[in-house]
């Protein structure tokens, strides 16, 4: 058995496995288009001789955490032939992925799971949910007169990204998008766009949406100001002669739309979405912006991580008064003030759950005083992700 990156001539074998595992069929034209975009260096596979048995894609991405870009390894397309399943191939691939990400300086990793329980065994933990609304058109927010203008069908990726990047930095876990990502992953031919421009001409919000069969489907509703939010909702409300309802996906889990509606009895769903895990705890902590305080903080933490042994052990977490963190190994006989596994640490530092919550539930154990200090040291944030891979 050998784990290696694919070669250009192995495109067909890779696509054949993907189509079988994910149950879809590409047309000849779609296959040709996929071949043009194929990046064999991003696909790792287990081979038995020349036979491809299992594979995954490792995407070099960046995500925002507290407004700061972090190098992230995006895992996608994990697939195995059925006769090769339950033989440890995926386990070997995921361990290999962690090693590759560490060597590449990717301190955090995200993936979309087919099973949350499966990937939890390897240290990934849910880090984000999104809210989905289904709203009859007569319950849309009321139309309001707003200064500025709405322009429809804006396809300028630079213009849209200017708004997106400012919005994305408000959350933890949002992608840093480049032009290629916008072209291949966001702006498909079926999407309509509308951009709100303030009185000074600056773009302050946009929506990506479709209108089909009397239903408006919005996949991104991005705004930088209250004026932009009202203007974009008024734009949607002006579709009232064309539609019966709207569905709005990828809204932040803490979105407060229902509070602002005249009638808040609308259908709302909270949907568990992506999982994340810290790849290299020491390197991650050095980049992480902790809460600054006059006295700083020191906590001894026992961390378990069976699939990334470089994270395993007892560490001294030191946070300076300026919020700069450092994780240093200490003698194995040192008594730790706190204990947790890599999944719990990831949930806390990525921002999905607070230390006091996990301490209450027994996911973080040890000294109550140390847990309280950790709570004060980790800044709060709302996690969010609108993309898929």
Which of 149, 153, 248 is closest to 203 using CA atoms? 149
Q: How far apart (Å, rounded) are the C-alpha atoms in residues 320 and 375?
A: 15
Give a yes or no: residue 118 inside a domain: no
* Co-location of 252 and 137 in the same domain: yes
Percent of the chain exceeding pLDDT 70 equals 100
* Co-location of 159 and 254 in the same domain: yes
Asked if 173 and 216 count as a contact pair (C-beta separation under 8 A), the reply is no
Identify the domain containing residue 198 by its residue range: 131-272
pLDDT tens digits, residue range 250-275? 999 999 999 999 999 999 999 999 99
Which of 248, 195, 246 is closest to 224 using CA atoms? 195
Q: How far apart (Å, rounded) are the C-alpha atoms in residues 352 and 125?
A: 10
* Co-location of 165 and 191 in the same domain: yes
* Co-location of 44 and 162 in the same domain: no
Domains: count for the chain: 3
Instruction: Give the Å distances, CA to CA, from 366 to 63, 155, 282, 371.
Output: 31, 53, 21, 8
- Give, to the nearest 10 degrees, the angle between helix 28-37 and helix 11-22: 120
* Co-location of 144 and 240 in the same domain: yes
* Co-location of 262 and 335 in the same domain: no
Give a yes or no: residue 239 inside a domain: yes
* Co-location of 146 and 249 in the same domain: yes
* Co-location of 245 and 331 in the same domain: no
Looking up residue 12, the CATH number of its domain turns out to be 3.40.630.30
Domain closes at, from 272, 294, 322 = 272
pLDDT at 370 over 90: yes
Residue 294 pLDDT: 83
pLDDT at 295 over 90: no
Looking up residue 364, the CATH number of its domain turns out to be 3.30.1050.10
* Co-location of 252 and 135 in the same domain: yes
* Co-location of 163 and 260 in the same domain: yes
Give a yes or no: residue 342 inside a domain: yes
Domain closes at, from 73, 106, 139 = 106
Domain closes at, from 242, 272, 302 = 272
* Co-location of 163 and 197 in the same domain: yes
Per-residue pLDDT band at 222 (split at 50, 70, 90): very high
Cα–chain center distance at 49? 36
Mean pLDDT of the chain: 97
DSSP 209-241: EEEETTEEEEEEEEESSHHHHHHHHHHHHTTTT
Contacts of range 187-194, beta carbons closer than 8 Å, 24 or more positions apart: 187/155, 187/157, 187/160, 191/219, 192/152, 192/153, 193/152, 193/153, 193/154, 193/155, 193/160, 194/150, 194/151, 194/152, 194/153, 194/154, 194/232, 194/235
Give a yes or no: residue 87 inside a domain: yes
* Co-location of 311 and 253 in the same domain: no
pLDDT at 212 over 80: yes
Residue 137 pLDDT: 98
Per-residue pLDDT band at 190 (split at 50, 70, 90): confident
Give a yes or no: residue 113 inside a domain: no
pLDDT at 334 over 80: yes
pLDDT at 351 over 80: yes
pLDDT tens digits, residue range 84-106? 999 999 999 999 999 999 999 99
Whole-prediction pTM: 0.95
pLDDT at 332 over 80: no
Beta strand pairing status for 245-252 and 129-136? Answer: antiparallel
């Amino acid at each position: 058995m050998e784990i290696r990156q694919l070669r250009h001539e192995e495109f067909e074998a890779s696509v054949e496995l993907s189509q079988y595992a994910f149950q879809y069929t590409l047309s000849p034209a779609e296959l040709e288009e996929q071949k043009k975009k194929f990046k064999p260096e991003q696909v790792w596979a287990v081979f038995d001789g020349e036979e491809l048995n299992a594979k995954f894609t490792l995407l070099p991405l960046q995500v925002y955490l507290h407004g700061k870009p972090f190098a992230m390894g995006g895992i996608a397309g994990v697939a195995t032939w059925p006769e090769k399943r339950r033989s440890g191939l995926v386990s070997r691939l995921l361990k290999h992925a962690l090693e590759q990400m560490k060597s590449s300086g990717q301190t955090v990793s995200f993936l979309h799971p087919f099973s949350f329980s499966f990937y939890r065994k390897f240290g990934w933990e849910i880090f984000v949910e999104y809210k989905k609304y289904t709203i009859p058109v007569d319950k849309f927010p009321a139309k309001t007169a707003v200064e500025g203008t709405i322009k429809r069908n804006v396809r300028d990726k630079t213009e849209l990204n200017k708004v997106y990047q400012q919005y994305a930095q408000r959350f933890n876990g949002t992608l840093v998008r480049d032009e290629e990502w916008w072209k291949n992953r966001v702006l498909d031919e079926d999407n309509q766009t509308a951009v709100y421009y303030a009185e000074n001409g600056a773009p302050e919000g946009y929506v990506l949406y479709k209108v089909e069969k009397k239903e408006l489907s919005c996949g991104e509703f991005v705004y930088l100001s209250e004026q932009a939010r009202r203007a974009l909702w008024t734009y949607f409300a002006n579709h009232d002669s064309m539609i019966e309802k709207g569905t709005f996906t990828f809204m932040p889990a803490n979105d407060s739309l229902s509070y602002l509606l005249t009638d808040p009895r609308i259908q709302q769903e909270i949907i568990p979405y992506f999982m994340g895990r810290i790849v290299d705890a020491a390197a991650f902590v050095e980049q992480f912006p902790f809460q600054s305080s006059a006295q700083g903080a020191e906590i001894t933490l026992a961390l378990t991580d069976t699939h990334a042994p470089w994270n395993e052990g007892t560490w001294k977490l030191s946070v300076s008064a300026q919020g700069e963190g450092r994780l240093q190994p200490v003698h194995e006989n040192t008594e730790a003030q706190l204990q947790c596994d890599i999944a719990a640490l990831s949930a806390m530092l990525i921002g999905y759950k607070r230390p006091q919550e996990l301490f209450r539930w027994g996911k973080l154990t040890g000294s109550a005083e140390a847990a309280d200090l950790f709570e004060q040291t980790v800044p709060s944030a709302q996690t969010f992700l609108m993309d898929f891979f």
